[in-house]
Structure 1
Amino acid sequence: MQNNQTDLYNEIGQILVSSGPEDAKNIIMIANLYPEGDVCEYEFNYISISNQEYEYEPLGRATTDLRKALVKLRQYFIDNNLTNDQPIWTDCMATVDIENSKISIEFKYEPFMNN
């Protein structure tokens, strides 16, 4: 099945919501996807319904499923020439607004995290 960018964003959002804390109103994932696509480092945070920010570890197979979805998203960018003649991104930050069912993903060509 051919995925489009919206489908891939939705897949990432679904994984984050289904594996996140029940009291989350916003989920933030920072990911560093290695160029080979076989390893991804993550940082997971959420904002609770009481507006407190916490770190968390996602449930189940979330990190494996996220890595696979990010590899597909990065390949989509390559296949559709969306790199603007830049090297492909390796880092991204996804923010899911659960209350409004919205996801935004920011791409970086420099790490968000210090490796």
Structure 2
Amino acid sequence: MSEQELYQRIGQLLLDAGPSEARKIVVRARLFAEGDGGSYEFDYFDKVNHSSWFDPDSRAVGDLTELLVELRGFYVENGLCHNGKAWSSCAVTLDVKEMKISIDYNYDD
């Protein structure tokens, strides 16, 4: 799967799993090194920019884990890692109104 396809699938998953009143969804994820899970924080902002957290169902979390592990693998396979090291955590932001997704990657030292 291409990087763009992975981004699209992650965005659609968050759109489907997030609250209907969400205008922006922010997910902070830290993947386990083994790629079999991770820790997550799910937040959203509504139309008046109030923030709150939400708890998606376990299937959505499992699917998100698979997509993020695949995305990390894509980065490793294509030499897109910082100093040759794969990212360990990321912050995914989905602007629901604009239908734009961005991902900021973090690397352990």
Find the counterpart in structure 2 of residue 51 from structure 1: 49
Output the CA distance in 2 between the equivalents of 1:16 and 1:5.
17
Q: Following TM superposition, by how much is the alpha carbon of 1:109 offset from its aligned partner in structure 2, in angstroms?
A: 0.7
Q: Deviations over 1:14-47 (max 9, x none)?
A: 1111000000000000000011101210000000
Find the counterpart in structure 1 of residue 79 from structure 2: 81
Instruction: Name structure 1 gaps, 5 residues minimum.
Output: 111-115
Which secondary structure state, in structure 2, belongs to the residue aligned with residue 8 of structure 1? Answer: helix
Q: Following TM superposition, by how much is the alpha carbon of 1:51 offset from its aligned partner in structure 2, in angstroms?
A: 1.2
Which secondary structure state, in structure 1, belongs to the residue aligned with residue 42 of structure 2? Answer: strand
Find the counterpart in structure 1 of residue 26 from structure 2: 28
Output the CA distance in 2 between the equivalents of 1:93 and 1:86.
20
Q: How many residues align?
A: 109
In the superposition, the TM-score normalised over structure 1's length comes to 0.90
Identity %: 37
The answer as to 2:6 corresponding to 1:5 is: no
Alignment of structure 1 residues 71-110 onto 2, 5 Å: 71-110=69-108
Instruction: Return 38-47 or 57-66, whichever deviates more.
Output: 57-66
Q: Does the CA-based 8 Å contact 1:23-1:48 persist in structure 2?
A: yes
In the superposition, the TM-score normalised over structure 2's length comes to 0.94
Q: CA RMSD in A?
A: 1.4
Instruction: Name structure 2 gaps, 5 residues minimum.
Output: none
